[in-house]
Structure 1
Amino acid sequence: MNTFNRVISILDRSLMKIEELILSFAIIVISVMVIGNVLSRTFTGASWAFNEEISRFALFLATFIGISYVARKGRHISMSAFFDLAPHKIRKALAIIIPLVTAIVLFVLAYYAYGYMASVRDSGRVTAALRFPYYWMLIAVPLGFVLGGIQFLRNAWINIKEKDVYLATDKKDYDRTDGAI
């Protein structure tokens, strides 16, 4: 493996670990907010004022950073009935076309999401309880779309480069190469 590929591999593994950390953190925060708020209402009769804001931020993180992670692992939602029944050559073509189209859509969505985030930033909008800039919650949206688009490009590239059909860079399509069901 040459130096460039080694650097890319290290960056990719580092990004995956960061995604895993963010996703784990977001799920833990959501759990703490839900359980803590229930306990607060039960014992004090009052909800936490900041609960909705923190939960929403964690949900944005989990949802949009999760796009990249599930694309990387080949665990994204797919309508695969036709794909699964298709012969190898058609599955191979679909395994290139579908991620390319998905990447394009994600990059377009990232563009519009960034524009929206910038307009919210420029408006000076802040959250009601914690008073932090609302655009902080939205940063995960264009970032997640861009990272997801990159992962789908990688998924298309592995299918261009390799003979077998891949659902993700490290996940073959049921390890089938003959088109058999």
Structure 2
Amino acid sequence: MNVLKVVDKIILKIEEFILSYAVIIIALMVVGKALSRALFSYSPPFADEVSQIAIVVATFMGISYAARKGRHISMSAFYDLAPFKVRKVLAVLIPLGTAAVLFVLAYYSGFYVLDVYESGRVTSALEMPAYYLYIFIPIGFLLGGIQFLRNAWINIKHRDEVYLGTDAKDYNDEKTKELEGTHL
């Protein structure tokens, strides 16, 4: 188990590094392009392409990070109003279903990356192999699927609490505990 925890921490640090620098690159490219166009009437041809690559990387590598932190997009109106037992069941079933979908998407996107690789396509401005851009898609889906499996597992393992992510307890439980504490 200690080896898995170390691997998990390494993956977390890699995700944080990739996401941080992808956002910085997006900001630099967008602001730099606007300033360059305004000041010099020139727009570097690679700026859009670099921004696009950084957006794809941030989007797909962010799936796992968002799932880990319980910060993924969710439609929680029913969930928030549900009693603990219903939320607990949903906290297991939803991540399992999401993981299954992400694994299927990783499978098919992997074939797409392979097709792009075999085609020999290159990007227009940087003329780098196009599959470099797309390789982050199946990796992101795979890591996201693994993270959602972990979310389901942590909710199975800890029966008395609901977790939105492996690093995030359900805020509804915190509110319930606070309310119970004030009524004593």
Do they superpose with TM above 0.5?
yes
Given that residues 88 and 178 in structure 1 are in contact (C-alpha distance below 8 angstroms), is that contact kept between their aligned partners in structure 2? no
Q: Please report how far the alpha carbon of residue 88 of structure 1 lies from its aligned counterpart in structure 2 after TM superposition.
A: 1.2
CA distance in 1, matches of 2:43, 2:10: 38
Structure 2 equivalent of residue 32 of structure 1: 28
CA distance in 2, matches of 1:76, 1:128: 33
CA distance in 2, matches of 1:84, 1:38: 43
Structure 1 equivalent of residue 90 of structure 2: 94
Q: How many residue pairs get matched?
A: 177
Paired AA for residue 161 in structure 1: K
Structure 2 equivalent of residue 145 of structure 1: 141
User: 1:47 is paired with a residue of what secondary structure?
Assistant: coil
User: 1:54 is paired with a residue of what secondary structure?
Assistant: helix
**Matched residues, percent identical?**
58
Alignment TM-score, normalising by the size of structure 2: 0.92
Structure 2 equivalent of residue 165 of structure 1: 162
- Of 103, 119, 129, the residue aligned with 2:115 is 119
More displaced 10-residue stretch of structure 1: 59-68 or 38-47:
38-47
Q: Please report how far the alpha carbon of residue 53 of structure 1 lies from its aligned counterpart in structure 2 after TM superposition.
A: 1.1
Matched, 1:11 2:7: yes
CA distance in 2, matches of 1:96, 1:11: 23
Unpaired segments ≥5 residues, structure 2: 180-184
Structure 1 equivalent of residue 182 of structure 2: none
Structure 2 equivalent of residue 57 of structure 1: 53
Q: Please report how far the alpha carbon of residue 44 of structure 1 lies from its aligned counterpart in structure 2 after TM superposition.
A: 2.0
Q: Please report how far the alpha carbon of residue 13 of structure 1 lies from its aligned counterpart in structure 2 after TM superposition.
A: 0.8
Structure 2 equivalent of residue 20 of structure 1: 16
- Of 60, 68, 73, the residue aligned with 1:72 is 68
CA distance in 2, matches of 1:148, 1:27: 19
Stretches of 4+ moved more than 4 A in 1? 177-181
Q: Please report how far the alpha carbon of residue 70 of structure 1 lies from its aligned counterpart in structure 2 after TM superposition.
A: 0.4
User: 1:167 is paired with a residue of what secondary structure?
Assistant: strand
Paired AA for residue 108 in structure 1: V
Unpaired segments ≥5 residues, structure 1: none
Structure 1 equivalent of residue 44 of structure 2: 48
Given that residues 88 and 177 in structure 1 are in contact (C-alpha distance below 8 angstroms), is that contact kept between their aligned partners in structure 2? no
Paired AA for residue 145 in structure 1: F
User: 2:173 is paired with a residue of what secondary structure?
Assistant: coil
Given that residues 80 and 172 in structure 2 are in contact (C-alpha distance below 8 angstroms), is that contact kept between their aligned partners in structure 1? no
Alignment TM-score, normalising by the size of structure 1: 0.93
Paired AA for residue 174 in structure 1: Y
